Amino acid sequence: MKITFVLDSFGGGGKERRCLQLIQGLNKLGYVNIQVIIINNDIAYPELYKTKADLQIIDRKNRKLSFYRTNKIIIKHLKNFQPDIVQVWGVFSSIYLNIIRCIIPFKYIGAYVADCNKSKNFSIWGLTIYFNTILADYIVGNSLAGLKAYGIPLNKRKVIYNGFNNDRLNYNKEKGSLRSELKLKSKYVVSMIARFDDDKDYETFIEAAKIILIKRDDISFLCVGDGPNLEYFRNKIFKEGKEQIRALGFRRDVENIIDNSDLSILCTNPNKHKEGISNSILESLAFGIPVIATNDGGTVEIIESNYNGFLVEALNSEILAIKILDLLDDKEQYKKMSKNAIKTVSEKFSLPKMTNNFVELYNSILLNRIK
């Protein structure tokens, strides 16, 4: 079986992480005829170079390629590779592939449903998704809530949850090195790993941290991620003199951050964005770190309150602060949630499970047995 994956870029986002882990999972099963076409030259995960995948980087922006020229290059790569399945990972890249699919026949999968945001029907985004549902054999989403939000027809939708690669648990680590680097002296560390943009609600996380720090000083709060709002929050934290709240920016050692944390938080602004299946939540659970997250979107398909974490009301820093303290101060509950966190990933969100579900889908499409 020959598979081509097409992505806008291979930046540090969730879809790129899912694609990378799927390639790694396929490689483990012996599937090595994999082509990856990246439209813009942006690779944030160096692990991609270690996979058995044929990388084709078009570099559209730097080469200032026209839409027509970019399409011609993609067609050339597809004709040279002759894939059995073409899987597109972004709505932007679907614009190209939708047109190409009208010219060249191939089995086609859209795998861009990774949130629960409703698209506007008459926007370029909405029209691209509409035509993709017509042209594609199947649309894969990483949450049922996401597929429903996108309006994907029942006969075309398929839920395949993210799969965590357990190899990441064996990252190279030096005990205490992160605390030493960041000069963390507090007993506890609470982290939020997410982009600094309007979709993620760092405001609520930081306000909850400030509420807690009025009462006690044995907790450090780490904000990890890049984005357009990073400097705004860095300046805000600095001006308020909150030394125990740190905005670290983008980090490649996500595993190290999580492994040195006691709690993981994901606050989302539901007025701007609804999560699908968050990789940062899965990564935290895999390390046995309970998660407190906004009760919205696909998050309810991962987090079960009082089992592996807590679901909390959106935009409410006081409730978030209460739940953080409740969990840190209840050792027995914390131990149970930690064990359940690992169990959640191993039973529902493992890499073998995700990979096998994709292989099963590929075979069904190739055999024209789509259900």
CA distance 108 to 86: 5
pLDDT in tens, 132-154: 999 999 999 999 999 999 999 99
- Percentage of residues in the chain with pLDDT exceeding 70? 98
Assess whether pLDDT exceeds 50 at residue 242: yes
Q: Counting every residue, how long is the chain?
A: 371
pLDDT tens, residue by residue, 50-98: 999 999 999 999 999 999 999 999 999 999 999 999 999 999 999 999 9
> What contacts 275, CB < 8 A, 6 or more positions away?
115, 116, 266, 268, 293, 294, 296, 297, 298, 299
Could you say which of 3.40.50.80, 1.20.1340.10, 3.40.50.410, 3.40.50.2000 is the CATH number of the domain covering 3-163+350-366?
Answer: 3.40.50.2000
Residue 118's pLDDT is what?
86
If you ran DSSP here, which 8-state letter would residue 304 be given? -
What's the whole-number mean pLDDT along residues 203-218? 96
- What's the predicted TM-score (pTM) here? 0.91
Q: Strand, coil or helix: what is 169? A: helix
> Higher model confidence: residue 240 or residue 113?
113
Give the per-residue pLDDT at 371: 43
Assign domain 170-348 to its CATH superfamily.
Glycogen Phosphorylase B; (3.40.50.2000)
Q: Name residues whose C-beta falls within 8 Å of residue 221's C-beta, 6 or more positions apart in sequence.
A: 189, 190, 191, 192, 205, 206, 209, 244, 245, 246
Domain spans, the chain: 3-163+350-366, 170-348
Both tokens assigned to 273: 């964005």
